[in-house]
Structure 1
């Protein structure tokens, strides 16, 4: 069983690994667990998503960052390439400075892959959707 956090209500769902690709719905609110786009991460839901079994790829970004804005549609497209084997999330570093500080984010965009609460890999700089997917898949 793999724990997957609902992108809508943040409840924990246990999904058999072999059923991740079957478009599972949240057992609490009924919305699809995978929607083909990144989850907005905040202080309220970040730790829940980071500590799930499903690998979490986080884009640390800021509104004022030009490369972040250029990469945003690529990160969105990467969600469609990587789900259901990854959860993708975006964390706005200006709004969530404490979380960005916890992980020592110095330059943006920075992507970090987490699995079961642990940092697995980190990459800074804008990338295309295919580069993001290739990088993430090569790290697990």
Structure 2
């Protein structure tokens, strides 16, 4: 009778635990196809996308860590509001692999907010949940000023040290009114922030920033409000005295 050494059995068990089917649905991870790719990867948020093949051993090994990443991002209101985690079966959807220059599996691409969707950068960092999160958080830190408007940043710096803010508020109102599209939305946040601080005192900036951060950390925020909070937090950095 054939017997299998306990060490071999253990090794086989660990191997099975360390890999999984990359085609399975993962919590917090979008499965992208040519039909829905541009719906989810729009440039409005950062995104990391894995291009895989079902038969690829390295893709199978990556799946448990990618699952952990999806769970971590979907359970963090701040991250969920700013980053998309997704994967593509590029063996089945070859057009997407061709579109993004995928030459091997798994290939991971990082799509930065505000950049053309067809110009992602290659992710070459570690392939553990913690390595992914460190990379993502570094990218988001670099992009904390996503809602900043340069012409209003100058006023913001003057505002925090001004003894009379009425002229600055009037100027901000004029500038915000001259903006269009996304910049107009952001400009209105500058103006409302100045008006609030003028009535409540300059400490309002720090207390409001802390309040919004607590809201996000609580996880008890309506999904529709998360992006609005992120926008406000971004604009509030323009009023940091350290800047």
Unpaired runs of 5+ residues, structure 1, are: 1-34
Aligned to 2:58: 67
Unpaired runs of 5+ residues, structure 2, are: 1-25, 75-79, 141-243
- CA-atom RMSD in angstroms: 2.2
Task: Work out the CA distance in 1 between the residues paired with 2:136 and 2:120.
Answer: 10
Following superposition, which runs of at least 4 residues in structure 1 exceed 6 angstroms of deviation? Answer: none
Aligned to 1:44: 35
1:10-46 CA distances to partner (integer Å, 9 max, x unpaired)?
xxxxxxxxxxxxxxxxxxxxxxxxx942011011100
Task: Work out the CA distance in 2 between the residues paired with 1:65 and 1:58.
Answer: 16
Could you state the TM-score of these two structures normalised by the residue count of structure 2?
0.40
Pick the structure with more helix per residue. 2
Q: Work out whether 1:77 is the aligned partner of 2:74.
A: no
Cα gap change, 1:126 to 1:61, in 2 (>3 Å): farther
Q: Work out whether 1:89 is the aligned partner of 2:83.
A: no
Displacement of 1:95 in angstroms is 1.1
Q: Are 2:28 and 2:73, in contact at CA under 8 Å, matched by a contact in 1?
A: no
What is the aligned residue count?
106
Pick the structure with more strand per residue. 1
Larger Rg: 2
Could you state the TM-score of these two structures normalised by the residue count of structure 1?
0.66
Task: Work out the CA distance in 1 between the residues paired with 2:95 and 2:27.
Answer: 28
